[in-house]
Chain A
Amino acid sequence: MLSNFGNTLLFLNLLLGVLIIYFSVGEFQNSKITISKKIYQLCLFQITFVIISFLTLITAFIISDFSIITVYQNSHSLKPLLYKISGTWGNHEGSLLLWVIILTIFSFFFLIYSKNHQKNYRIISLIIQNILILGFLFFLIFNSNPFSIIAPTPKEGLGLNPILQDPALAIHPPLLYIGFVGSSIYFSAAMSSLITNYSGKLFAQSIKNWVLISWSFQTLGILAGSIWAYYELGWGGFWFWDPVENASLLPWFAMSALLHSIMVLEKRNQLYFWVIILCLLTFILSVTGTFLVRSGILNSVHTFANDPSRGLYILIFLSLMIFASVFLFFNKFKNSNYGFYSNSRETFILINNWFMIFYLITILLGTIYPIFTEVLTDYKVSVGPPFYNTVIIPIVVLFLFFMSIGPRIKWIKNKSYNLNLLFKILLASILINFLITYFFNSYSFLSNFIIISALFLIISSLLDLNKSFKKKEINSSRVTSHLAFGFLILFIGLNHNFSLEEDFNLKLGEKKKFDNYSIEFTDLKLKDFENYKAVIGKFQINNLKKNLNQFLYPEIRIYDNPKTITYEASIRSSFLKDYYITMSNVDRSDYYNIKFQKKPFMMWIWISAIFISLGGFLRLFHNAKKNY
């Protein structure tokens, strides 16, 4: 029943997409300067139907309708309600439906909120967005239909992969999708801008809020995924350079570059073609990421079930998108001389963009390099953290200095530098770094530079904040993001410097001592839970110097549906540091393999990332207030 209903809605959406394009084309003959009501109504139907179809799928998950394959494969009647719901987008088919929904929602709201802009520009944006919607709807209905049925109806479902049963992961896909699927709207707008020659300032104004929305959500989405990997995968860190993580980072860099260069377009009416490239690139990278993740072409912890036909469809769609945009761009591109003064805000924003593109290319190369070696030389390699750390970290130092100075430079031409002040900030940063290494007694050559440059950014951002408070400027969004970014890098540096990691085997009752710590394996229990059994260890951690005495309880969980073993880290988080233990059984012995880690400032890494995205939301709020 639900399956038929859901499928009907999807087909109706297909029809609506075609109708919207058809009537939009008809609008060109209409001499009125406003878009006719009919199109608004069709779009309203479109968004309503697609949301109802999603709610239908959620309902099927909640009532455990196992006649639907997607529900059968990814749910179980005994699962807690939250995970029944989040199971809807915890799989390929359901998450693709989420794609289509976000494409549609952005299409609808762009139409509503762009009323002050030229009609033809809006209509063509709508047409292109609907072509994207149709492309993904086709894929959804004919290749990855979430409403396909299975007969006879199974009595019980196979269950959601246990490592996906997690609150952070329940919100991770929707946040991330608003980010990178949301970028579709400025892809469509950029194409339309090229076609209609609706360029410059007005174009910048029409898309800047959409860039902000997608960037802020993308940041939060990446964060949620990172937090999940930290405590669920038991690797003990905040970033692993896993291909899938990288795939989410690629569009983020393009977006961040866009976020900055669009200001130049709005204020100075320059960099138009560069902004267009970034608009197109962001969404192209989002679809590329989806291709890499869904096709199974890359080996990663979190690729979806392999299916080459999916990969092929996305690849064909991606190629069409790329060639259409490249063709259009080359046709319209005009060489223009920017004539920026080297000492101006514009130049510094361009420098920011170079950095972003540098990071982007580095990570893109690292991510797809294994595919190239395998195809061209039949040799399997994997590119890991050493590559990224070596290439990226030294450049971050430079980047942070530019990031501190850039916002102090005036538009068009900066007359004077306050070198004295910069020198004082640098001195203060070096002093603080010295104090940190002196008191905490840990030293690494490179992290000195990281910490000093991060402090430099923090101090200059704080001075800016102080200044804007004095001037009573409410818009502190930029300072918030920059300050938070400085803190993020600072905490990453400190975390890297002062982490402690020990790997050893212990039997029940044994004790291990190292540095100032002793860890005792005091108890082992077997417990039954609703949908899994758990072997729970009890470990007593003593810090001999600080009189610390804590218990941690790592688990080995055995899930029935589907039959899976997972290792749950036990983490004791506090303001200053996290203690982290994972345990795994050693085959045919009484020993357990224990991984103990002390990770300072983990919580602050997460908090900094939240504040980075908060900056984006603040600016959005500010823009909205200004307009209404």
Chain B
Amino acid sequence: MQKKIIRTSIILTIIFIIGVFFIGLSKDKTYDTKDLIGQKITKVQIKHFFENRKISEKDFKKNGFTLINFWASWCAPCRDEHPYLLKLSNEKNLKIIGVNFKDKKSRAKNFLDELGNPYAEVASDKLGKHSVTFGIYGIPESLLIDKDLIVVKKFIGPILRNDYSLIKNIIEKK
């Protein structure tokens, strides 16, 4: 009897491990930022910066295009890109969602008060965990997403003049 239990548990353990490997194979590797483009954004749940609710991927569906911009008050290049974000915020077919990355709330508020707020919604990712699931390692980085939640383009570093025109081209084309 004891022998049987040992045998069964060994076999079950092996089946379990192989099963996990099998599922692991079919998992998305959103990790690899190079594979991010063309992928669908799913399961987003980030705290809202001002309100007591969570921002989810449903909030992106309402818009033609969504630009998710990862920023922080301590990030100098974020200041460089800010004027372009403000310009983009006037575009009809685009909404900008800001994800405030590893930042203090009061400083982030001051930053927006001082430079203006281009964001339709602001989310707060205090620990930087949610950003990693988007394949974000450093900021500023931005993701351009269409209404089907597919990542169209990823911008590493600040959005400057060229990127600004590129985004305008993309959103006006469709």
Contact = CB atoms under 8 A, between A and B. Distances in A.
Are both chains from one complex?
yes
A373 B11 CA distance: 21
B18 A319 contact: yes
A387 to B, nearest CB: 19
A564 interface: no
A376 B23 CA distance: 9
Interface string B31-71: 11000000000000000000000000000000000000000
A326 B29 contact: no
Interface string A364-391: 0000100110111000100000000000
A23 to B, nearest CB: 34
Contacts of B133: 380
Nearest to B26: A308
B10 interface: yes
A440 interface: no
Given A319-B18, A371-B21, A380-B132, A296 B29 contact: yes
A323 B25 CA distance: 20
A372 B132 contact: no
Contacts of B10: 326
B18 A311 contact: no
A380 B31 contact: yes
B14 interface: yes
Contacts of A318: 18
Nearest to A298: B24
A315 interface: yes
A118 interface: no
A499 interface: no
Interface residues of B, number: 19
A36 to B, nearest CB: 38
A306 B25 CA distance: 10
Chain B binding surface SS class: helix
A82 B14 CA distance: 43
Nearest to A308: B25
Contacts of A319: 18
Nearest to B30: A380
A372 B20 contact: yes
Contacts of A315: 18, 21-22, 25
Nearest to B31: A299
Contact of A371 (B11, B24, B26, B31): B24
Given A315-B18, A326-B11, A380-B132, A375 B29 contact: no
A297 B29 CA distance: 9
B2 to A, nearest CB: 11
Interface string B1-22: 0000001001100100110111
Contacts, number: 44
B161 interface: no
A295 B133 CA distance: 21
A374 B132 contact: no
A296 B23 CA distance: 13
Contacts of B22: 312, 315
A376 B26 contact: no
A330 B8 CA distance: 11
A311 B7 CA distance: 28
A586 to B, nearest CB: 13
Contacts of A308: 25-26
B31 A297 contact: no
A335 to B, nearest CB: 8
Interface in A318-351: 318-319, 322-323, 326, 330
B37 to A, nearest CB: 15
B173 interface: no
Nearest to A376: B20
Interface string A278-297: 00000000000001000111
Contacts of B18: 315, 318-319, 322
A374 B24 CA distance: 8
Given A322-B14, A326-B14, A380-B132, A306 B20 contact: no
A374 B21 contact: no
A380 B30 CA distance: 11
A371 B24 CA distance: 6
A322 B21 CA distance: 14
A375 B7 CA distance: 26
B27 interface: yes
Interface in B79-120: none
B27 A375 contact: yes
A374 B132 CA distance: 14
Contacts of B23: 375
Interface in A18-33: none
A368 B31 CA distance: 17
Nearest to A288: B21
B24 A297 contact: yes
Contacts of B21: 291, 297, 315, 371
Interface string A108-137: 000000000000000000000000000000
Contact of B24 (A323, A326, A375): A375
Contacts of A322: 14, 18
B31 A311 contact: no
Nearest to B132: A380
B20 A312 contact: no
A291 B20 CA distance: 13
B132 A297 contact: no
Contact of B25 (A295, A299, A330, A368): A295
Contacts of A368: 17
A311 B14 contact: no
A139 to B, nearest CB: 15
A364 B17 CA distance: 12
Nearest to B14: A322
Nearest to A311: B25
B59 to A, nearest CB: 21
Contacts of B29: 296, 299, 306
Interface of A: 291, 295-297, 299, 306, 308, 311-312, 315, 318-319, 322-323, 326, 330, 368, 371-372, 374-376, 380
Interface of B: 7, 10-11, 14, 17-18, 20-27, 29, 31-32, 132-133
- Counting from the closest, the 6 A-B pairs by CB-CB distance are A371-B24, A311-B25, A375-B23, A297-B24, A375-B20, A375-B24
Given A299-B31, A322-B18, A376-B20, 8 more contacts: A299-B29, A308-B25, A315-B21, A315-B22, A318-B18, A326-B10, A372-B20, A380-B31
6 contacts: A312-B22, A326-B10, A326-B11, A326-B14, A375-B20, A376-B20
